[in-house]
Structure 1
Amino acid sequence: MSVTAVPLRPVSKGGLWLLWIGLAVLLAVGTAFAFSATPRIGFEVVKAGTGPSPTISDVVLVKYEGKLDDGTVFDSNEQAPMQVAQVVPGFSEALTRMQKGGKYKISIPPALGYGDRAVGPIPANSTLHFDVELIDFRTEAEVRAMQQMMQQQQMMQQGGAPGVPGAPAPAPQQ
């Protein structure tokens, strides 16, 4: 077996620089294309909050007002509990960037909202605009524990149930 060597001409320093510049331009164009093709939410901090941000598995308590492009209010609430994982993707993404006590303006493109389906007063392919205040948030485990405590208190107020502290003892069977 024989190998034939093919002589290569040396590359000039100017040609090498052109190669690197071309590669950098190609990477920049590819990155710009990737970012322009991916829908993104608009996120503006009106008043900064403090502390950590909620995670996708947390439950938040928010004050919000939702509007369409023409300014029509489609929903609002003074204290709405929400599971971060169970709202539209754009709202979920925004919630995980907020901090307790903060106020935010967010815009959700249709691809990260309801897309091409109409939901209640929201027409298909609508951009959603929200003013949101993150009042508080808790982990899912904390919320379950709070719900259990409230159920126990209600049972005790209603006369209790067997096995619950403070409830009357069951009558002995004969």
Structure 2
Amino acid sequence: MKLKFLLAAAFAAILSLTACGGGGDSGTPNPNNPAQLVKKDDTVGTGAEAVSGKTATVTYILWLYSASAADHKGTRVESNSFSFKLGTNAVIPGFEQGVTGMKVGGKRTIEVPASLGYGDRGSGSVPPGNGLVFEITLTKVE
């Protein structure tokens, strides 16, 4: 249990450290970066709603965005579960915007442009300027 908490805390810290990444716009479309944040509800939940000030617990799968891949899901990067407080910049802006408004039991796919993700710096296995695709399930709100 302690290890799971530490892993979730480490992931949240990594996301928060990179949340202010730029993601400048050169004017040239990037096939690895969506033009804007896209949210698609795969399953609409019926429980409590994720709103600013509440703590959301999620499970997710992360892929690198690829315009040529099915559902824009390029290379799978990771999957995990963790909790974070909405409205505190604890995660990258695109992830928080994607979770906000979900209800417990819901499943949502979001496409995050680099400007709302890791920007021009990238992070770990996310190259600079690359967009992201998250498949998120909201499991709890408190």
TM-score, length-scaled by structure 1: 0.53
Query: Of 84, 95, 103, which aligns to 1:82?
Result: 84
Query: Of 38, 42, 61, which aligns to 1:65?
Result: 61
Matching of residue 132 in structure 1 with residue 136 in structure 2: yes
Q: Where do residues 1-174 of structure 1 align in structure 2 (5 Å cutoff)?
A: 40-70=36-66, 71-77=74-80, 79-84=81-86, 85=88, 86-138=90-142
Alpha-carbon distance in 1 for matches of 2:116, 2:83: 21
Residue pair 1:56, 1:92 contacting (<8 A) in 2 also: no
Distance 1:40 1:56, change over 3 A: farther
Residue pair 2:65, 2:111 contacting (<8 A) in 1 also: no
Please state how far the C-alpha of 1:83 moved relative to its aligned partner.
2.5
Please state how far the C-alpha of 1:40 moved relative to its aligned partner.
3.4
Q: Give the total of aligned pairs.
A: 99
For structure 1, the 5+ residue unaligned runs are 1-38, 139-174
Residue pair 1:103, 1:132 contacting (<8 A) in 2 also: yes
Alpha-carbon distance in 1 for matches of 2:78, 2:84: 14
| RMSD, aligned CA | 1.5
Please state how far the C-alpha of 1:52 moved relative to its aligned partner.
4.1
Larger Cα Rg: Structure 1 or Structure 2? 1
Structure 1 residues 91-120: Cα deviation after superposition (integer angstroms, max 9, x where no partner): 111111211100111000111111111211
Please state how far the C-alpha of 1:121 moved relative to its aligned partner.
0.7
Alpha-carbon distance in 2 for matches of 1:97, 1:55: 6
Greater percentage in helix: 1
Alpha-carbon distance in 2 for matches of 1:65, 1:122: 14
Q: Match of 2:65, SS?
A: coil
Q: Match of 1:106, SS?
A: strand
Alpha-carbon distance in 2 for matches of 1:115, 1:97: 24
Greater percentage in strand: 2
Please state how far the C-alpha of 1:55 moved relative to its aligned partner.
1.8
Please state how far the C-alpha of 1:74 moved relative to its aligned partner.
1.6
TM-score, length-scaled by structure 2: 0.64
Structure 1 residues 71-100: Cα deviation after superposition (integer angstroms, max 9, x where no partner): 2122211x3222333111111111112111
Runs of 4+ in 1 over 4 A off after TM superposition: none
